């Protein structure tokens, strides 16, 4: 924040005051480790990602084909019925151009932006998809409704994780042709 340009009242507390111990604080970092059980539905989902496939779970009552899959339909309140493979293509439902990293540090000028997007997967019910990132795309040319396809890691490099898909890239057009100043993808 550029507070220097405002006239502020009182005595300002500076970082150097804290660094020199003029303000008494006590810093600690929690050491917390978790290993969450994936369960039946998400376990199978991750296993199929390792195979390079996207799998959904279908509820025969409401007919929804759900990604991420779940063993129970949260709307019908019943066990879901069957596994259904979906395509690895889809449509951008919404996206954002992120100039900051997860810890709020800024991406240096000229470096690729983060391009998180919600992608509706072909074969799943409307509203069902994958939260992922876009790549191989010019950020200025991303459009809601754009058709995209998963770009997978090589089979030997996949580990049963959502990051077995590196990113989704445009099926056509909008593809990055030349290296621009603000190019997307990592």
Partner 1 sequence: MIGKVAITGLGYTEFSAGSPGTSFRELTYEAAAKAYNEVGIEPKDIDTFVCTSEDFCEGYSISDEYCNDQLGAVLKPVQTIPGDAIHSLAVGTMLVLTGQFDIVAVQALSKLSNMKTIPNMVNFAFDPILNRPLDEHYSYVSGLAMNRFLHDGKATREQCARVVVKNRANALQNPVAAYAADLTLDNVLDSEPVSEPVRLLDLAQVADGAIVFVICSEQTARSLTDNPIWVKGVGWSTDSPSLESRDWGNAVSTRLAGDMAYKMAGIKYPAREIDLAEVTDEVSFKELEYIEALRLFEPGRAGLALEDGRTTRGGDLPVNVSGGDLGVGHLFEAAGAQKLMEIVLQLRGTAGSRQIANAHTGLAQAWRGEPTTSAAVAILSNK
Interface residues with Zn ion (CB under 5 A) are 59, 61-62, 73, 76
Give the DSSP H or E segment for 50.
Answer: helix 39-50
Q: Is 33 in the site for partner 1 (CB under 8 A)?
A: yes
What pairing do the DSSP bridges indicate for beta strands 89-95 and 82-86? unpaired
Q: Is 30 in the site for partner 1 (CB under 8 A)?
A: yes
The per-residue b/e assignment along 118-153, b for 16 or more CB within 10 angstroms, e otherwise, is bbbbebbbeebbbebbbbbbbbeebeeebbbbbebb
Query: Considering CB distances under 5 to 8 angstroms, the limit depending on partner class, which of partner 1, Zn ion, none binds residue 102?
Result: none
Q: Is 18 in the site for partner 1 (CB under 8 A)?
A: no
Q: Is 75 in the site for partner 1 (CB under 8 A)?
A: yes
Q: Which of 2, 19, 37, 103 binds partner 1 (CB under 8 A)?
A: 37
Q: For residue 178, give the DSSP letter.
A: S
How far CA 152 is from CA of 43, 59, 117, 144, in Å, comes to 19, 28, 16, 22
Q: Is 77 in the site for partner 1 (CB under 8 A)?
A: yes
Q: Which of 72, 99, 140, 155 binds partner 1 (CB under 8 A)?
A: 72
CB under 8 A: which stretch of 47-55, 68-76, 91-99, 118-126 binds partner 1?
Answer: 68-76
| Three-state DSSP class for residue 59 | coil
Give the binding site for partner 1 (CB under 8 A).
Answer: 26, 28, 30-43, 70-72, 74-75, 77
């Amino acid at each position: 924040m550029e507070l220097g340009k405002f006239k502020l009242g009182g005595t300002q507390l500076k970082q150097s005051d804290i660094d020199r111990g003029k303000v008494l604080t006590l810093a600690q970092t929690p050491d917390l480790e978790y290993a969450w059980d994936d369960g039946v539905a998400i376990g199978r989902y991750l296993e199929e990602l390792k195979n390079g496939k996207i799998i959904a779970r279908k509820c025969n009552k409401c007919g929804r084909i759900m990604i991420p899959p779940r063993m129970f339909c949260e709307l019908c309140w019943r066990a879901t019925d069957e596994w259904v493979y979906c395509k690895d293509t889809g449509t951008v439902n919404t996206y954002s151009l992120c100039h900051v990293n997860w810890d709020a540090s800024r991406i240096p000028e000229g470096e690729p932006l983060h391009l998180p997007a919600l992608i509706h997967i072909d074969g799943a019910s409307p509203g069902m998809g994958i939260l992922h990132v876009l790549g191989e795309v010019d950020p200025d040319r991303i459009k809601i409704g754009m058709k995209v396809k998963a770009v997978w890691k090589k089979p030997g490099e996949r580990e049963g994780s959502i990051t077995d898909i590196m990113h989704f890239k445009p099926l056509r057009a909008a593809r990055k042709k030349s290296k621009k100043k603000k190019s997307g993808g990592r």
